Amino acid sequence: MTWELTEDVEAFATTAGEFLRSRPVQHTVLLTLVGTLRRRGLHAYGAGDPIFGRWRSPDGRTGGVLLQTPPHPMMFSSLPAEAVPAAVEALGDRPLSGANLLAGDVDVFVAGRRRRTGADAKVRMRTRLFRLDTLTPPAEPAGQARTATADDRELLLRWHAEFHDEIGEGHSDSFGPLVDERLGYGGITLWEVDGEPVAMAIRSRVESGMVRVQTVYTPRAHRARGYGGAATTVVTRQALDLGAAHVVLVTDLANPTSNALYQRLGYRPIEDRVVVEFSS
């Protein structure tokens, strides 16, 4: 058993695609990343060249994967126990800004990385993956939903930047291509009151029967009025109407408000992850 690394997204999709599609809920982010890189090119998430890897068993099957789109952290699927320390050696001294692993794997990887490179790590975020059970809509607040259009582009660019600032995720304000793609497939829903947008919710495309609610944002001036929950309900219904067998979302465990909201809507926890940052 060994790690096989490549910079070829098509080769990775061929060898690891069946593994990713076998668990579309747990592999939601990885499926979205691979799909976007195939549609928009290898530098859709940054100027650095992505790296892909699969843990290959003796019979040629894939038992786990890794994927990094620099400068973002490297993401790992669930892994066999022996694959975690082996990943440290396979990656060698490759620069890593951080890593995103299941909560049970992170300590082993961080300890191995420290021994290999001397890099210290600090926890940047603890996340939880939720899957929709039965949608339970909240009481609807004032206003109504509509699908965002190109006329909303400047607002959406600003809200994307504000959202990433709030969660502490670095960016270069280069959200134009991302916003344009989401507008192109009707993936952004705005909740508006008296013609003023007050919240947004975004859903992914359907990938292997799965849709992820990717971003829910309400500017501070409009919070605590139910707008975010209402927008989330709309995009969840859209996902179901599109035929998604699984609707999922990922939350920051440091935000009790959003975690409680999504559970009230009918989302149930699946797994926890930890995102760490490495010192240079």
Write out pLDDT tens, residues 79-112.
999 999 999 999 998 999 999 999 999 999 999 9
Can you tell me whether residue 216 is helix, strand or coil? strand
Domains of the chain, by residue range, sit at 2-119, 132-272
Q: What is the pLDDT of residues 162-197, one digit of tens each?
A: 998 888 776 666 789 999 999 999 999 999 999 999
Q: Does domain 132-272 have CATH number 3.40.50.2000?
A: no
The reported pLDDT for the residue numbered 136 is: 97
The reported pLDDT for the residue numbered 164 is: 86
* Nearest of 20, 120, 130 to residue 67 by alpha carbon: 20
The reported pLDDT for the residue numbered 172 is: 60
Kind plus residue range of the DSSP H or E element containing 245: none
Query: What are the phi and psi torsion angles at 144 (to 5°)?
Result: -155, 165
- Per-residue pLDDT band for 10 (boundaries 50, 70, 90) equals very high
* Both tokens assigned to 148: 């965002």
d(CA 87, CA 89): 5
Query: Contact, 83 vs 89, CB < 8 A?
Result: no
d(CA 43, CA 21): 23
Query: What are the phi and psi torsion angles at 225 (to 5°)?
Result: -125, 5
Q: For residue 27, is it left (φ>0), alpha (ψ between -120 and 50) or beta?
A: alpha
Residue 97 CA neighbour count, 13 Å, CB half: 14
Kind plus residue range of the DSSP H or E element containing 185: none
Can you tell me whether residue 160 is helix, strand or coil? helix
Q: What is the pLDDT of residues 233-247, one digit of tens each?
A: 999 999 999 999 999
Can you tell me whether residue 203 is helix, strand or coil? strand
Can you tell me whether residue 270 is helix, strand or coil? strand
Sheet of strand 51-56: strand arrangement: 2-6, 51-56, 62-68, 74-76, 98-102, 267-278, 121-132, 246-252, 210-217, 196-203, 188-193, 144-147
d(CA 69, CA 50): 4
| Mean predicted confidence (pLDDT) in 69-84 | 96
The reported pLDDT for the residue numbered 46 is: 87
* Both tokens assigned to 203: 């859903």
d(CA 110, CA 134): 37
